[in-house]
Amino acid sequence: MLRNKRAEMGSQIMVLATLFLMVIIAVGIAAGVSLYFGSGVDARQADADILKYKIENCFNEKSISDIGKNIFDSCGLNKDSFNGNSLVFKICENSNLNDCTTSSASFLSSGSNFQSCLFTGKESSNTFLKCSYAQISRDGRNFVLITGSSQQIRRINA
């Protein structure tokens, strides 16, 4: 029994070495493929910019009361797209960017975690929000608009 256990010890060490080798090969292939084809297009900033553009335009075209009642219908936004928290917006009245980002009070908002818009070094991460900002003045009222997106491509078995 003792003799056989000693033999098993050697093969167990070899399994660990093989697993380590597999990880190295997998990382190497993934890195090679990623370097050759690129790591995909990052559309988060574009999403945030387009959403900002649409809401800004909406403030120019529609009345503030209509927007306040239902921003989704007034501005032609699909409400269900904002359910997953990957697309967010927040509008604050008489506020500045920092206060609007951190405070819980707002004129209108959808989604959460706006603080991550202010994180430094988030550019290297694929999961954080990318944000866009605007100041809107209308009928003597001043608003700060923050929009953000953390949407990723979804790979679905088909």
Partner 1 sequence: MMTIFQFFNRKAEGDQVLGTVVYIILVLLFFIGMFYYVSLQRNGAAASEDFYAKEISKVINFAHPGDQIVFDVQTPTEIAAKSGIKDSKEIFNFDNTNKQVCVKLSAGIRSCYSYFNNVNISDWKINYGVPKNMLIINIAGGKNAA
Which residues make up the interface to partner 1 (CB under 8 A)? 1, 4, 7-8, 11, 15, 18-19, 22, 25-26, 29-30, 33, 37-38, 40-41, 43, 46-47, 50-51, 54, 62, 72-78, 80-82, 86-87, 151, 153-158
Q: Which is nearer to partner 1, 51 or 95 (CB)?
A: 51
Q: Which is nearer to partner 1, 7 or 60 (CB)?
A: 7
Nearest to 55 by CA among 85, 79, 89: 89
Least distance (Å) from partner 1 to the CB of residue 96? 26
Q: Which is nearer to partner 1, 6 or 104 (CB)?
A: 6
Least distance (Å) from partner 1 to the CB of residue 128? 18
Around 20, how many Cα atoms within 13 Å sit in the side-chain half-sphere? 6
Q: Which is nearer to partner 1, 1 or 124 (CB)?
A: 1
Q: Which is nearer to partner 1, 90 or 95 (CB)?
A: 90
Buried b (16+ CB within 10 A) or exposed e, 17-33: eeeeeeeeeeeeeeeee
Least distance (Å) from partner 1 to the CB of residue 108? 15
Nearest to 39 by CA among 113, 125, 136, 117: 125
**Other Cβ atoms within 10 Å of 64 Cβ, number:** 16
Q: How far apart are CA 34 and CA 44, in angstroms?
A: 19
Least distance (Å) from partner 1 to the CB of residue 98? 26
Q: How far apart are CA 116 and CA 86, in angstroms?
A: 13
